[in-house]
Amino acid sequence: MGYDLHITRRENWWDEEGEVISTMEWEAAVAADPDLVLVPTPEGWQGGTEWVAETVPRNEGKSRPEPLWWRVGRIAAKHPSDALVAKMCQLAKVLDARVQGDDGEYYDS
């Protein structure tokens, strides 16, 4: 079991109704951010995840790519590093959204 952070426009990330982040908005935000790249979904993937992006490592050998998943109108990351939390807050501003943890707490953007 892991702890996720979510970029969402809904009151709470788990709400079934409310404004969503579209795949087009997500794709545009990733394309405009030099620290992110879209990653093709593996052939035969059966999960519900779509439009995966990863961070681009800048310090060779010192950082690793971290994934962000677009799913059901929100973006999520599992066990994000401090750097990825900061990136998620930047993305939330671009997407007019907020970063929220699994337990409902909000992160400053």
Q: What is the pLDDT of residue 10?
A: 96
User: Which residue type does 93 have?
Assistant: K
Quickly state the pLDDT bin for 103 (edges 50, 70, 90).
very high
Strands (E), the chain: 4-8, 36-39, 50-55, 67-71, 74-78, 98-101, 106-107
Number of Cβ within a 10 Å radius of residue 46: 6
Q: What is the pTM assigned to this prediction?
A: 0.85
Q: Render pLDDT for 69-89 as a digit per residue (tens, 0 to 9).
A: 898 899 999 999 999 999 999
Quickly state the pLDDT bin for 2 (edges 50, 70, 90).
confident
Q: What is the pLDDT of residue 52?
A: 80
Which of 7, 2, 10 shows the shortest CA–CA distance to 86?
7
* Selected residue with higher pLDDT from 49 and 94: 94
If you ran DSSP here, which 8-state letter would residue 55 be given? E
